[in-house]
Structure 1
Amino acid sequence: MSESLSTPHPRTRWRFAVAFGVIGSLLVAVLITAFIWPAATSSPKNLPIGISGPADRVAALTDVLAQQDPSPMSLVEVSSRQDAIDQIESREIYGAILLDEPEVLVATAASPVAAQAPRGVATQLQSQIDATVQAALVAQLAAIGEALAAGQPPALPPADAPGTQTPKVTVTDVVPLADSDPTGAGIAAATFPLVLGGMLGGILLSLLVAGAVRRLVALAVFGIAAGALSALILQTWFGLLQRDWLLNAAALGLGMTATAAFIIGMNAVFGRPGLGIAAVITVLFANPLAAAAVPVQFLPEPWGQIGQYFVPGAASNLLRSLSYFPDAATGMQWMILLCWTALGVLLALVGHYRDKPDMQVPEEQLEPETQLEAV
């Protein structure tokens, strides 16, 4: 009987087996918490909404919102309807309440969830208007009845008097979602394959490509090709992205390049543990805080704002602006993605030159005195 068959395999000790089971369950709990916590704790609050109209009506609405903790909306004064539209299209506000017309402006492309708050205000305004008109109508009927009882001809109200016409609150979607993505789920879900694509590229290049320069060249090729292919799938095929195809491809490619570069750099500096650290930062921390499906204001403070300085948050915000809000400022998102890419490249070079052995100079190139010292 061979030695391999006769020698029993060593068995894991009981306490280690139990410990590994507990550690695995804790990792699952952390994973679930990381993904569920932002969604479970998000709530409508402090949403920037424009407001215009008579001062007394604005003050009344402001007082009502101030009584709620937290307030679902943060009112921003706008000078006119066009001013409100301009601020919505530049992503400074999520909607507007115009009390003169009356009209409520929303932008479902910014966030279908955020559009629900001003729509709710429109419903409440319509209820108040209907109640006011009904009260005025009852008062007019009572006056007519009193006049008839006194034997006097009733005074008919003018055609434009309150109670003769019921104003309707108009809801206008200034920036609607595309017909190919009517619920907005597609552009929100595009963030996750973007993160996974960057992680996959970074891990493969770290494990399969040797040499710092070769690895960085492969990273550049990966970013360009992955961005182009992703844009073909998300925009040309499924129609989830809109407007300039080249800009969308550049944003997708840079987002995946930034994630891949960070993973490569962490691996170069910390070795295999660096891959795990980079994955934890990207998947368990940055991705849940990206606010891809809800406004940043809905996440617990200050985590929503912090999440925008990581690759998933910046990339998802950038893609939404490029597709639906061409007037929005996107310089910050481009800069964040470039900074993460530069950080990854820097870490990769630091790890390469740190581990590089000192250059050996041939003895024949040394000075005579140096040769004697070497001997």
Structure 2
Amino acid sequence: MIQQAGTSGPTTGQGYKLVVIVVGLAAVVVTMLCAFALPSINSGPRHLPTGVAGPQEATTAVSKALQGEEWDVTTYDSEDDLKTAVKERDVMGGIVLAPGKVTVFTATAGGPQAAMTLTSAATAIAKQQQANVAITDLKPFPDDDPKGAGFSSAALPIIIGGMFPAVLLTRLFPGHSGLRLRLAGGFAFALVAGFAVTAFLQYGTGSLSGEYLITSLGTSLGMAALVMTLLGLESLIGMAGFGLGAVVIMLLGNPLSGFVSGPHWLPDGWATVGQMLPPGAAGSLLRANSFFAGTGASGPALILTAWATLGLALMLIADRRGTRATRPSAEAPALVV
């Protein structure tokens, strides 16, 4: 074979590199599929906190009927106690038993799938007892968005809203000289975007019903946790650090967040991991502030604050390291000619 001068074929090293890239990309695709598909396949009620009230004999029978990993049943002395427990998020819902009547109390805003599962179970119990069923939703979604579509759609904007500005700020203000501008820009974006997203969902679509200021600050905290963590990783490690953070957020944080269903719809270990990551904590905080007057908000808020603080600490370390690298040595001996 005659080869033209000045040209050369691929080397063995390049061939190996190509194989590694192809195999690596295929592994990433399979990992993405596993991360998104497995939680959906294995989703379902897991230890749903459920209350029961009524005559002792009836509540005992219902507690036995709701045994298994799907339920975590607590007996209450009265209907009022059970309703208070639902509103305070001690349980996801409850069943009150009376002669010829079964009353179901749900909190759809706390998890629509859990509410439907509890209603279905109570209906089956009432059918066995030949009793009437009454359903009361103590914490529904707002009337303007009764299915919670707006709340569900907030997951991706919050996640992307934490990733995209980190990329943009890194490109616009690169290196050590732009680090403090990236820091200021990240905080400013999180604050403005949090208030804007909340305003759209609360006043534009009517999907939220909490106090606007508190809900907005919570949304801003969720975005700050995402953007500051990614900026911190990029500042200290480079784009490899940003890539690692983005993979964790998208491949673990997003599918394990329980943003739409609530954490009780995922296997126990996965749910715990998801709630410790920014997307899951941001969703739980938004749910608590929007529909439950802040009940249950302290845990997610602390987790998000920890992530934002971690990102800030990484940026401060990178700033100090960069300052030392660029500082001229004052003790360097002068050259004598």
Q: 1:99 aligns with which of 97, 100, 105?
A: 97
1:9 Cα deviation from its structure 2 partner: 7.5
Give the equivalent residue in structure 1 for 2:120. Answer: 120
Residues 78-119 of structure 1: CA distance to partner in whole angstroms, max 9, x if unpaired?
222222121111211111111135311111111110012221
1:206 equivalent to 2:166? Answer no
CA contact (8 A) 1:315 1:333 kept: yes
Give the equivalent residue in structure 1 for 2:28. Answer: 27
1:284 Cα deviation from its structure 2 partner: 0.8
CA contact (8 A) 1:290 1:314 kept: yes
> Which whole-Å CA distance do the structure 2 matches of 1:327 and 1:340 have between them?
20
CA contact (8 A) 1:72 1:117 kept: no
Give the equivalent residue in structure 1 for 2:197. Answer: 230
Residues 92-171 of structure 1: pairs in structure 2 closer than 5 A: 92-100=90-98, 102-130=102-130, 167-171=131-135
Report the TM-score, using the length of structure 1 for normalisation: 0.80
Give the equivalent residue in structure 1 for 2:159. Answer: 195
Amino acid at match of 1:196: I
1:50 Cα deviation from its structure 2 partner: 0.5
Amino acid at match of 2:308: T
CA contact (8 A) 1:197 1:256 kept: yes
Residues 245-301 of structure 1: CA distance to partner in whole angstroms, max 9, x if unpaired?
222221221111111100111011111111111101111111211111223222122
1:38 Cα deviation from its structure 2 partner: 1.0
> Which whole-Å CA distance do the structure 2 matches of 1:77 and 1:125 have between them?
16
Cα separation, partners in 2 of 1:128 and 1:371, compared to 1, 3 Å: closer
CA contact (8 A) 2:102 2:126 kept: no
Runs of 4+ deviating beyond 3 Å: 5-19, 358-363, 370-375
> Which whole-Å CA distance do the structure 2 matches of 1:187 and 1:193 have between them?
11
> Which 5+ residue runs of structure 1 have no aligned equivalent?
131-166, 364-369
CA contact (8 A) 2:54 2:79 kept: no
1:6 Cα deviation from its structure 2 partner: 7.9
> Which whole-Å CA distance do the structure 1 matches of 2:335 and 2:10 have between them?
56
Residues 312-351 of structure 1: CA distance to partner in whole angstroms, max 9, x if unpaired?
1111011111111115131122221111111001001111
Cα separation, partners in 2 of 1:360 and 1:85, compared to 1, 3 Å: same
Give the equivalent residue in structure 2 for 1:59. Answer: 60
SS in 2 for 1:125: helix
Residues 159-213 of structure 1: CA distance to partner in whole angstroms, max 9, x if unpaired?
xxxxxxxx52211111111233222233123112101110111122222224332
CA contact (8 A) 1:264 1:348 kept: yes
Give the equivalent residue in structure 1 for 2:282. Answer: 315
**How many positions carry a matched residue from both structures?**
326
SS in 1 for 2:207: coil
> Which 5+ residue runs of structure 2 have no aligned equivalent?
none
CA contact (8 A) 1:89 1:327 kept: no
Cα separation, partners in 2 of 1:208 and 1:234, compared to 1, 3 Å: same
CA contact (8 A) 2:105 2:136 kept: yes
> Which whole-Å CA distance do the structure 2 matches of 1:113 and 1:77 have between them?
22
CA contact (8 A) 1:65 1:71 kept: no
SS in 2 for 1:318: helix
SS in 1 for 2:73: strand
Q: 1:282 aligns with which of 230, 235, 249?
A: 249
Amino acid at match of 1:258: A
CA contact (8 A) 1:188 1:316 kept: no
Amino acid at match of 2:270: W
SS in 2 for 1:49: strand
1:334 equivalent to 2:301? Answer yes
Report the TM-score, using the length of structure 2 for normalisation: 0.88
SS in 2 for 1:105: strand
Q: 1:359 aligns with which of 312, 327, 332?
A: 327
CA contact (8 A) 2:66 2:73 kept: no
1:48 equivalent to 2:46? Answer no
1:374 Cα deviation from its structure 2 partner: 10
User: Which range moves more in the overlay, 310-319 or 187-196?
Assistant: 187-196
CA contact (8 A) 2:46 2:268 kept: no
Amino acid at match of 1:359: R
> Which whole-Å CA distance do the structure 2 matches of 1:374 and 1:86 have between them?
84
